[in-house]
Copies of this chain bind each other. A is one copy, B any other.
Amino acid sequence: MQDPTIDILKRNNLSVTEGRRNILQLFLNHNASALRHSDIESSLHGLDRVTIYRTLQAFTEKGIIHSIPGSDGAARYALCKGGCEQGHHHDDHVHFVCVRCGSTQCLDDVHVPYVRMPEGFEATKVEMVVSGICSKCRK
């Protein structure tokens, strides 16, 4: 109740630790754009690299955050807005990567359109990433 981070961690059956609360708080403060592991590492010095990796894994498994594939070989993470539960994500929105400022954001209102698969293919997940100039960089 008092602190939203404690609440979220408990609801997801995760032990409430300093590191997890700090990482979660960072996502709550920063929900305009997705965070890379390195962003978290530089914001929260003193927290071990490995702990951050493991925390991101745990949060992803619980459905607190979702990962966004980055073409530069570094995963990005953003808070799930709702509908995601233990084991199953329902983030069917489009992601946007700005080539100018480098930020990745969730376009929560733009949902991934349906595409018909060829005979014999069975789709279980669809990722759509749009690159271009974001609204902030276009001024």
Contacts and interface: CB of A to CB of B under 8 A. Distances in A.
Interface of A: 67, 69-71, 73-75, 94, 96, 99, 107, 109-110, 112-113, 115-135, 138
Assembly of this chain: how many copies? Answer: 2
Contact of A119 (B96, B128, B135): B135
A116 B121 contact: no
A123 B138 CA distance: 12
A112 B115 CA distance: 8
Contacts of A74: 73
Contacts of A117: 96, 107, 110, 130, 132
B138 A115 contact: no
5 contacts: A69-B69, A73-B73, A107-B117, A121-B132, A125-B132
Contacts of A120: 134-135, 138
Q: 8 closest Cβ contacts across the A-B interface?
A: A120-B135, A69-B71, A123-B132, A124-B132, A125-B131, A122-B133, A113-B113, A73-B73
